[in-house]
């Protein structure tokens, strides 16, 4: 039987980041098992927005700590994560002006480079954007987007260089509990004995958690995006935009296209067999929302799209915890479609927790797994309406 100090289950960006950070902190025998290939889940499909604007300080801080890594990826991790700091605009509907200003002030206290921006300044900054209908907006000049596959591969390759084993096409079938704590994992390639397990299985968490009696009310969702060619005459490009008014987010894709996602997606989808392409009516919805914010896109050509699986938690926030009832088990679950940009800090925090006894980079207490049983699901004071259903990639 093989053995390891830590087994990481899942080769998405959060699993790969965790393996890298564990190796950086000196853990020698790490095995990451991935049932398919690296970035086979949500990570490979991600819109990969890297923005700091959250309606709570816990996630904003994770995003802020992660931005430092995206900016300096080649030195800290190695390789190129494709980070493009083209700037980010958050717009909200009328009625949410106070909420946006409160959130910007909270982010500034963290140290995030962000500021409210007037409609006139926004029009000057992004001339193609319709701004007359919005309530308020803010601008983050240093945010942008990255390449989610390159980021995942970069973390995994760095972990491998530091001695970790990355095993693809290896499925974790059952977490083994002995004497009331983690003892190892049964995989499709045999058992691995290990006292510490980090489960980061994305939308496929159900089969691992069920047998341990763990139920956090997680639901797999199918999320789509589509891509539109820039119309003739549209040259200036645009920054990354989250339009909380129309529940859409968009960013440039390549040199001549825009990638857009709208709304939350469809729940209860079977992550084992879902349609990876984009639905026809969804393309029409995206075109409508895109043209609402950028009228020039009314006659743009659709150039593709895809769908991926995320795992929503009941309050739309991830669960990042050491499971109290299962000593030796750490989890990052219920990514809720917003955990690419925070993955560098999430992996760092999990590694600190395992190696040093507590997370140091950020406080993870609000992400605790017990909040649902305590009847204290997460609600942000200054949200932008329909909190959990508000698109927030
Ligand atoms: C269309 C779309 C757009 C998005 N846009 C953004 C965005 O703009 N910004 C942002 O921050 N986030 C975004 N997200 C969300 C983000 O991509 C995810 O939150 C993040 O990638 C989750 O990473 P993960 O490593 O936790 O999970 P995943 O990437 O899903 O990885 C889980 C991995 O575990 C593997 N696995 C599962 N079970 C087992 C098992 N039993 N044994 C072995 N391996 C197993 C899976 O095969 C998978 O590779 C988007 C997601 C989608 C789908």
Our answer on whether the CB atom of 310 is closer than 6 Å to any ligand 1 atom is yes
Mean pLDDT, rounded, of the chain: 95
Our answer on whether the CB atom of 143 is closer than 6 Å to any ligand 1 atom is no
**pLDDT tens-digit map of 203-261:** 999 999 999 999 999 999 999 999 999 998 888 899 999 999 999 999 999 999 999 99
Query: Within 13 Å, how many C-alpha atoms sit on residue 367's CB side?
Result: 29
Our answer on whether the CB atom of 64 is closer than 6 Å to any ligand 1 atom is no
Our answer on whether the CB atom of 9 is closer than 6 Å to any ligand 1 atom is yes
Our answer on whether the CB atom of 48 is closer than 6 Å to any ligand 1 atom is yes
Which of 104-118, 223-237, 260-274 is the most confident on average?
104-118
Our answer on whether the CB atom of 271 is closer than 6 Å to any ligand 1 atom is no
Contact 348, 354 (CB under 8 A): no
172-181, 259-268, 284-293, 347-356: least confident range: 259-268
Determine the residue of 12, 18, 33 to mutate for testing ligand 1's pocket, defined as the one with the most ligand atoms within 8 A of the Cβ atom: 12
Coil/strand/helix, residue 322: strand
CB atoms near residue 281 (< 10 Å): 8
* Interhelix angle 343-356/148-161, nearest 10 degrees: 30
Kindly tell me if the per-residue pLDDT of 391 is higher than 80: no
pLDDT score at 388: 56
Beta carbons within 8 Å of 172's beta carbon, 6+ residues apart: 7, 9, 33, 35, 185, 186, 187, 199, 201, 208
261-275, 282-296, 363-377: least confident range: 261-275
**pLDDT tens-digit map of 297-309:** 998 999 999 999 9
Residue minimizing CA distance to atom 16 of ligand 1:
340
Our answer on whether the CB atom of 241 is closer than 6 Å to any ligand 1 atom is no
pLDDT score at 158: 98
Q: How confident is the model at residue 268 (pLDDT cuts 50, 70, 90)?
A: confident
How many helices (H) and strands (E) would you count in the chain? 10, 21
Our answer on whether the CB atom of 350 is closer than 6 Å to any ligand 1 atom is no
Our answer on whether the CB atom of 174 is closer than 6 Å to any ligand 1 atom is no
Distances (CA, A) of 69 to 21, 38, 66: 12, 20, 5
Check the CA dihedral 353-358-363-364 and report its sign.
positive
pLDDT score at 1: 86
CA distance 320 to 340: 14
Determine the residue of 90, 152, 201 to mutate for testing ligand 1's pocket, defined as the one with the most ligand atoms within 8 A of the Cβ atom: 201
**pLDDT tens-digit map of 349-390:** 999 999 999 999 999 999 999 999 999 888 899 989 865 555
* Interhelix angle 343-356/57-71, nearest 10 degrees: 100
CA of 76 to the centre of ligand 1 (A): 22
CA of 42 to the centre of ligand 1 (A): 3
What's this model's pTM, rounded to 2 decimal places? 0.98
pLDDT score at 263: 80
pLDDT score at 368: 98
Atom of ligand 1 nearest to the CA of 310: 53
Residue whose structure tokens are 């299962």: 326
CA of 40 to the centre of ligand 1 (A): 8
Our answer on whether the CB atom of 359 is closer than 6 Å to any ligand 1 atom is no
CA of 332 to the centre of ligand 1 (A): 11
Class in CATH terms, 2-47+149-217+315-381:
alpha beta
Give the strand order in the sheet containing 319-322. 165-168, 30-34, 6-9, 196-199, 329-333, 319-322
pLDDT score at 390: 52
Atom of ligand 1 nearest to the CA of 44: 29
CB atoms near residue 8 (< 10 Å): 33
pLDDT score at 378: 87
Residue minimizing CA distance to atom 45 of ligand 1:
10
* Intervals of CATH 3.50.50.60 along the chain: 2-47+149-217+315-381
The DSSP bridge pattern shows strands 136-140 and 172-178 to be unpaired
CA distance 80 to 89: 25
Our answer on whether the CB atom of 251 is closer than 6 Å to any ligand 1 atom is no
Q: Which H helix or E strand runs over 7?
A: strand 6-9
Beta carbons within 8 Å of 201's beta carbon, 6+ residues apart: 9, 10, 172, 208, 333
CA of 210 to the centre of ligand 1 (A): 19
pLDDT score at 392: 60
pLDDT score at 389: 52
Of 275, 297, 296, 274, give the one whose Cα is nearest residue 284. 297
Our answer on whether the CB atom of 15 is closer than 6 Å to any ligand 1 atom is yes
Kindly tell me if the per-residue pLDDT of 325 is higher than 90: yes
């Amino acid at each position: 039987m093989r053995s390891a100090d830590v087994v990481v289950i899942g080769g998405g960006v959060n699993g790969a980041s965790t393996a890298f950070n564990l190796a950086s902190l000196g853990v020698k025998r790490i095995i990451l098992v991935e049932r398919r290939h690296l970035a086979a889940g949500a990570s490979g499909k991600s819109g990969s927005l890297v923005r700091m604007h959250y309606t709570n300080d816990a996630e904003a801080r994770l995003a802020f700590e992660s931005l430092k890594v995206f900016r300096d990826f080649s030195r800290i991790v190695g390789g190129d994560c494709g980070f493009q700091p083209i700037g980010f605009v958050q717009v909200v509907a009328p009625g949410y002006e106070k909420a946006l200003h409160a959130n910007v002030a909270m982010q500034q206290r963290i140290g995030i480079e962000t500021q409210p921006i007037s409609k006139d300044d926004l029009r000057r900054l992004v001339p193609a954007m319709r701004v007359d209908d919005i309530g308020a907006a803010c601008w983050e000049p240093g945010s942008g987007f990255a390449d989610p596959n390159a980021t995942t591969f970069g973390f995994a390759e760095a972990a491998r260089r530091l001695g970790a084993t990355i095993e693809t096409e290896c499925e974790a079938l059952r977490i083994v509990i002995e004497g009331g704590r983690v003892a190892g994992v049964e995989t499709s390639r045999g058992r691995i004995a290990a006292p510490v397990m980090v489960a980061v299985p994305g939308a496929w968490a159900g089969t691992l958690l069920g047998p341990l009696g763990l139920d956090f009310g997680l639901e797999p969702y199918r999320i789509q995006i589509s891509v539109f060619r820039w119309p003739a005459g549209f040259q200036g490009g645009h920054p990354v935009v989250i339009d909380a008014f129309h529940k859409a987010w968009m960013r440039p894709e390549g040199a001549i296209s825009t990638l857009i996602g709208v709304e939350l997606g469809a729940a209860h989808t079977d992550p084992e067999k879902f349609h990876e392409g984009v639905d026809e009516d969804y393309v029409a919805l995206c075109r409508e929302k895109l043209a609402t914010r950028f009228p020039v896109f009314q006659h743009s050509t659709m150039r593709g799209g895809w769908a991926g699986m995320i795992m929503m938690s009941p309050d739309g926030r991830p669960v990042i915890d050491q499971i109290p009832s299962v000593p030796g088990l750490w989890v990052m679950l219920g990514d809720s479609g917003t955990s690419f940009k925070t993955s560098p800090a999430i992996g760092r925090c999990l590694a600190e927790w395992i190696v040093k006894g507590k997370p140091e980079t950020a406080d993870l207490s609000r992400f605790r797994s017990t909040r649902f049983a305590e009847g204290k699901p997460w609600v942000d004071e200054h949200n932008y309406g329909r909190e959990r259903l508000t698109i927030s990639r």
